[in-house]
Amino acid sequence: MMNFRATAATAALLCFTAFGASTAFADGEVNVYTYRETKLIQPLFDAFTKDTGIKVNVVSASSGLEQRMKAEGASSPADVLLTVDIGRLDDAVQAGVTQPIKSVVIDEIVPAQYRDPNGHWAGISMRARVLYTSKDRVKQDKITYEELADPKWKGKICIRSGQHIYNNGLFAAYVAKYGEAKAEEWLRGLKANLAQKPSGGDREVARDIAAGKCDIGIANTYYWALMMNNDPEKKPWAEATKVVLPTFEGGGTHVNLSGVLLAKQAPNKANGVKLIEWLVGDKAQKIYADANYEYPVRAGVAINPTIAGYGKLVADPLPIAKIATNRKAASTLVDKVGFDN
Amino acid sequence: MSPVTRSGRIAAAIAVATAILVAAPVISIIALALQPAPDVWQHLIDYVLPATLLDTALLLGGVAALSLAIGTGTAWAVSLHEFRGRQILLWLLPLPLSIPTYLAAYVYVDLFEPLGLVHKTLALWLPLQDAVRVLPNLRSLPGAVVVIALVLYPYVYLSARTMFQYQSAEFAEAAKTLGASRWTIFWRISLPMARPALAVGVALVSLETLNDIGASEYLGVRTLTVSVFTTWLNRGSLAGAAQLSCFMLAIVAGLIAIERYGRRNVTTEFSAESPRLTPRTPLTGIKGGCAFAVCLLPVCLGFLVPLLYLAQQSFKRGLFANFDVALWRDAFNSVAFASLATLAALLLGLATILAWRWRPSRLRFVAMNFAQLGYTLPGLVLALGLLAPLLAIDNALNALAGWLGWSLPGLILIGSGAAVVIAYVIRFLAVPTGFIKAGFERIPRDYDDSARAVGAGQTTTMRLIHLPLLRPAMLGAVIVVFVDCLKELPATLLLRPLNVETLATSIYQYASRGSFEEGALAALLIVAASIGPVAWLTRFSDIPSGPA
């Protein structure tokens, strides 16, 4: 039978694990649920704590946080939810776990296009979905998203899964602009131009171009900068490619948002609002832009030089909320045209 | 059938409680699935399921076949033969168990992708473009089959080995006198007798494969699990995702039923008169060398290559140069969660099987089968299903505290690590239940009867006869559960409390930024934490063989 001492030791361990970590409701704290990896935002939270004396507690996950908040209901410790994608912002609002942020600061700083019309969420930074092109093999400097379906690129394009949230956002924007029928036709054209089955991540797009498997890849702005500046091993991948900011015909470049929401039952509501306001402040926006190579949402904050080197970003004026409502249709189309098969 | 006793009643109560615990998330998922999910199914049937089902079936079939071949072959070689290097293999063969499938996928893709190590090596002889062309494309169904099987085969190996080495000599010797060759004995005697254990091993491999999301998604294989995620996350239909999960559950239940039906008449108890074990056949010279080399290959590919790659990446980053102290805390969390869950799963599994063994009844049979259900739920679906029941308990506790006039404790289960531990127990309970059940199937009921004849009670019989005989099976189960818990990712991510990371979630943080190599040290720690238990298992599992 089980050794008594082992049982006792294990029970002690259980208590230690169980109660060592439940300090969710203390004063001067704010609890953040986030889809952004802790390691990336920790510097930001550290700076916030230094500025305000408010401690930030974090749990990060890849999915399901709004479901967790919903289940936790009135007892949920969450004050703020931080997402890296439009869809998640919308999911949280749909799940009914948020409340309007009601902050003059947010309304003044964040452009209306990057805010929920009902005030439930606000963008804190932007990432653009752009093209990495081969320095040697692609001479064209201006490319439109529509043009990606042109047969002239046959067998030349690389992309990750069509169901990935980043592509889902781009495709949803296309649906929002042109309707489902046109979007389907475009997706079929894009699929026909793929050099290989969609797989991997955005960095692999650069690598496959460097290795000559394809000439153009669809990826987010910051991966290129991260490879170029922070990863000596992958620097050659970035060096073989060039970042081209594509646009819609008559529109701008598709951008996605990292955004924040205020939890419905936020036990530390005042601190939550304080954190949200701080995140769009000058200092935070600068840290965010430099650490993550994203575009600040606040006007007048200097863009990181690497990102600035891509050229001037003219963001698509389509309201983000409109993209969010079309993502289901986009996901359906991806399956329908067998994009990932 | 034994009379009703106190210990029997306790075991039965635990078995039923366990079944309820496991059923809770399943019921809550079914409740979710009962919500209408308009137009999800038409879409799934038209565009998703045909391709997904085919991919899933091919992946499962491929991984099962390959891991069965590797696991059975190596277990047979080291259990029934004696050759130079065998002792080392005993230590090495289970070790791929310590490599999470998602890590293996990351490592192999890195090695074999364009501009990776293999490509660069090839490029020494070939022009760059040609070198790209001859590289195998790992991001494919065959690639996924090979990578996943290479790290999952130990499930089959461990259960097969338990069987092979306890196989009584009688049968083999009888066959030998009738002129059967070693191969005939393997195919006609050893293998059929090991079937229940092999079935458990293959079932674990298959369910592990089905649940895997990291590796198959990364390798571009669209499995049912991937579709569950897409339906939920992109199509915003939790109900549709839950329905798809139920569908998956039904398929798995069907597979298990078919497997049970298939071996309903197979008896595998070893002959009570002859506890004498099969002597190991010595292999010398080239034969011995070949046996060693063949057994070493899966270890190299499934363990050494990923380990060396991770080590190399860690060293390249200066190993401890930017060492994050938080890593120790993460490691402690991992080990604490895993140990607690393992202990609980073992005890619950044992009670569940004992309840059935002591006094078979319909209720106990159902309880026993329920205990194995959790393994069929993908980690994240399980976590989602657990939220509602756990919250109900938390709220009840708060209400109770309020009624007693105490200060409200807040979310005790969700706010502490308890939810993670509970999720692990539910998810991995199938392992001890399966292992112990397979172990019991080899202990003749005659033993129980003889013990009773000399006046021993149930607990005495258990202590003196069952537990010693079950030790290899229980140790195997402990290791598998412990290591599985260390590797578990999706449920841990969703259920862990504020400010708590485990090694797996820490690696995930790096991987989701597309630079998992930076998490190589955390990955090494997972492997390191697993090697100890796995080695411990090996130490106890090798029983001396009869005279050769």
Question: What would the pLDDT profile of B376-433 be if each residue is shown by its tens digit?
Answer: 777 877 888 888 888 888 888 888 888 887 777 777 787 788 999 999 999 999 889 8
Over its length of 548 residues, how does chain B's per-residue pLDDT go in tens digits? 556 677 788 888 888 888 888 889 888 888 888 887 777 788 888 888 888 889 999 999 999 999 999 999 999 899 888 999 998 898 899 889 888 888 898 899 889 888 888 888 888 888 877 777 788 888 889 999 999 999 999 989 988 887 787 666 667 777 777 777 777 877 777 777 777 778 878 888 888 888 777 788 778 888 887 788 777 777 777 788 888 888 887 877 776 776 666 566 555 554 444 455 667 888 888 889 999 999 999 999 999 999 999 888 888 776 556 667 778 889 999 999 999 999 999 999 999 888 888 877 888 888 877 777 787 777 877 888 888 888 888 888 888 888 887 777 777 787 788 999 999 999 999 889 888 887 887 788 788 888 888 888 878 888 888 888 888 788 888 888 998 899 888 888 888 888 888 988 888 777 766 667 777 888 888 888 887 777 776 665 565 554 43
Who among B139, B140, B387 is closest to A200 (CB)? B139
Would you call A37 and B509 a contact, using CB atoms and an 8 Å cutoff? Answer: yes
Please say whether the beta carbons of B101 and B507 come within 8 A: no
Nearest to B47 among A22, A61, A336 (CB): A336
Say yes or no for a CB contact (<8 Å) between A211 and B114.
Answer: yes
Scanning B234-284, the segments in alpha helix (DSSP H) are: 238-262
Q: Does B322 touch chain A (CB under 8 A)?
A: no
What pLDDT sits at residue B536? 72
ipTM associated with this complex: 0.74
Q: What kind and span of H or E run contains B165?
A: helix B141-165
Tell which residue, A297, A299, A330, A316, has the closest CA to residue A129. Answer: A316
Alpha-helical segments (H) within B374-466: 379-404, 412-415, 418-428, 430-441, 445-453, 458-461
Beta bridge partners of A81: A33, A261
State how far Cα A267 lies from the chain centre.
26
The amino acid sitting at B30 is I
Of A266, A242, A286, give the one whose Cα is nearest residue A124. Answer: A286
Taking 90 as the threshold, does the pLDDT of residue A50 lie above it? yes
B132 with A211: Cβ contact below 8 A = yes
List CB contacts (< 8 A) between B219 and chain A. Answer: 199
Q: List the one residue out of A59, A182, A255, A224 whose CA is nearest residue B498.
A: A59
Six token digits for residue B445: 């009921």
Interface residue B512 vs chain A (CB under 8 A): yes
Cα of B235 to nearest chain A Cα, Å: 5
Chain A residue at shortest CA distance from B218: A200
Which residues have a Cβ under 8 Å from the Cβ of A128 and sit 6 or more positions away?
A220, A221, A245, A253, A254, A255, A256, A295, A313, A315
For residue B342, give the nearest of B187, B495, B537, B51 by alpha carbon: B537
Residue extent(s) of CATH 1.10.3720.10 domains in chain B:
1-25+317-512, 35-268+281-315
**Percent over 70 (pLDDT), chain A:** 92
Task: Provide the mean pLDDT of chain B.
Answer: 82
Please tell me the predicted confidence (pLDDT) of residue B265: 57
d(CA B493, CA A37): 11
CB nearest to A24's CB, from B43, B128, B415: B415
- Partners of residue B341 on adjacent β-strands: none
Say yes or no to pLDDT of A11 above 70. no
- Give B 144-203 residues with CB within 8 A of chain A: none
Residue entry with tokens 């986009």: A330
Q: Where are the alpha helices (DSSP H) in chain A?
A: 4-20, 38-52, 65-72, 86-94, 104-109, 165-178, 180-192, 202-210, 221-230, 235-239, 269-279, 282-292, 305-308, 320-325, 327-336
Q: How many helices (H) and strands (E) does chain A have?
A: 15, 10
In DSSP notation, B305-327 reads: HHHHHHHHHHHHTTTTTT--THH
pLDDT band, very low/low/confident/very high, at A32 (cuts 50, 70, 90): very high
Of A10, A37, A39, the CB nearest to B343: A10
CA dihedral B435, B437, B438, B444 (to 10 degrees): 140
Looking at chain A, which residue has its C-alpha nearest residue B391?
A72
Q: Which of A31, A199, A271, A341 to mutate to test the interface with B (most CBs of B within 10 A)?
A: A199
Instruction: Say what the pLDDT of residue A24 is.
Output: 42
Q: What distance in Å separates the CA atoms of residue B113 and residue B107, rounded to the nearest whole number?
A: 10
Q: Is A152 exposed, middle or buried (0-12, 13-18, 19+ CB in 10 A)?
A: exposed
B400 touches chain A (CB under 8 A): no
Cross-chain residue pair B411–A75, CB shorter than 8 Å: yes
Is there a contact between B511 and A39 (Cβ–Cβ < 8 Å)? no
User: Given this structure, which CATH class describes domain B1-25+317-512?
Assistant: mainly alpha
Task: For chains A and B, count residue pairs whose Cβ atoms are closer than 8 Å.
Answer: 199
CB–CB of B234 and A31 under 8 A?
no
| Single-letter amino acid, residue A54 | I
Helix axes B101-112, B305-316, angle to 10 degrees: 70
Backbone angles phi, psi at A261, to 5 degrees: -130, 155
Residue B303 backbone dihedrals phi, psi, to 5 degrees: -130, -55
Q: Which domains does chain A have, with CATH numbers?
A: 8-126+256-302 (3.40.190.10), 127-254+313-336 (3.40.190.10)
Mode of pairing for the β-strands spanning A216-220 and A157-158: parallel
Between CA A98 and CA A89 the distance in angstroms is 10
Is A328's CB within 8 Å of B498's CB?
no
**The pTM is what?**
0.81
Confidence tier at A341 by pLDDT (50, 70, 90): confident
pLDDT, tens digit (0-9, with 9 covering 90-100), for B340-384: 999 999 999 999 888 888 877 888 888 877 777 787 777 877 888
Question: What's the rounded Cα separation, in Å, for the pair B274 and B159?
Answer: 22
Q: Which of B100, B118, B102 is nearest to B219 (CA)?
A: B102
For residue B48, give the nearest of A19, A161, A335 by CB distance: A335
SS (H, E, C) A127-142: EEEEEEEECCCCCCCC
CA within 13 Å, CB half, B201: 34
pLDDT tens digits along A242-282: 999 999 998 899 999 999 999 999 999 999 999 999 999 99
Question: Is residue A209 within 8 Å of B522, Cβ to Cβ?
Answer: no
Question: B113 vs A205, B104, B135, B419, CA distance in Å?
Answer: 12, 14, 8, 39
Nearest by CB to residue B410, choosing from A16, A75, A163, is A75
**pLDDT per residue as tens digits for the range A300-318:** 898 999 999 999 999 999 9
Q: What is the pLDDT of residues B155-174, one digit of tens each?
A: 899 888 877 876 666 677 77
Show Cβ contacts of residue A92 under 8 Å, excluding neighbours closer than 6 positions.
A65, A66, A69, A81, A83, A98, A120, A121, A261
Q: Which residues of B touch A17 (CB under 8 A)?
A: 333, 336-337, 340, 416-417, 421
Chain B residue with the nearest C-alpha to that of A168? B234
The Cα B198–Cα B435 span in angstroms is 11
Residues of A in contact with B129 (CB under 8 A): 212
The annotation status of A223 as a binding-site residue, yes or no, is yes
Instruction: Give the nearest partner residue to B339 out of A13, A163, A197, using CB atoms.
Output: A13
3-state DSSP assignment of residue B1: coil
Q: What is the pLDDT of residue B119?
A: 85
Output the six-digit token pair for A186. Answer: 């475009």
* pLDDT of A20: 41
Give contacts of A208 with chain B, Cβ < 8 Å: 114
Residue A2 reports pLDDT greater than 60: no
pLDDT for res A18: 43
CB contact under 8 A, A161 and B217: yes
Residue of A nearest to B419 (CA): A18
**Cβ contacts (< 8 Å) between B343 and chain A: which residues?**
2, 7, 10
Q: Is A293 annotated as a binding residue?
A: no
pLDDT digits (tens, 9 = 90+) for A177-220: 999 999 999 999 999 999 988 888 898 899 999 988 899 999 99
Is A57 close to B499, i.e. CB distance below 8 A? yes
Cα–Cα distance, B308 to B331 (Å, whole number): 20
Using an 8 Å CB-CB cutoff, list chain A residues near B387.
Answer: 67-68, 71-72
Alpha-carbon distance of B403 to B413, in angstroms, equals: 19
Take residue B467 and report the two structure tokens written for it: 């537990």
Residue of A nearest to B40 (CA): A332
Lowest-pLDDT choice from A13-22, A54-63, A147-156? A13-22
Architecture per CATH, domain B35-268+281-315, reads as Orthogonal Bundle (1.10)
DSSP string, B275-309: -PBPPPEE--HHHHHHHHHHHHHHHIIIIIHHHHH
Under 8 Å between Cβ of A280 and A80 = no
For residues A75 and A291, give the distance between their C-alpha atoms in angstroms, rounded to a whole number. 34
Report yes or no: A267 and A101 within 8 Å, Cβ to Cβ: no
Tokens of B175: 């066959």
Three-class secondary structure of residue B360 per DSSP: coil
Of the candidates B114, B235, B384, the beta carbon closest to that of A328 is on B235
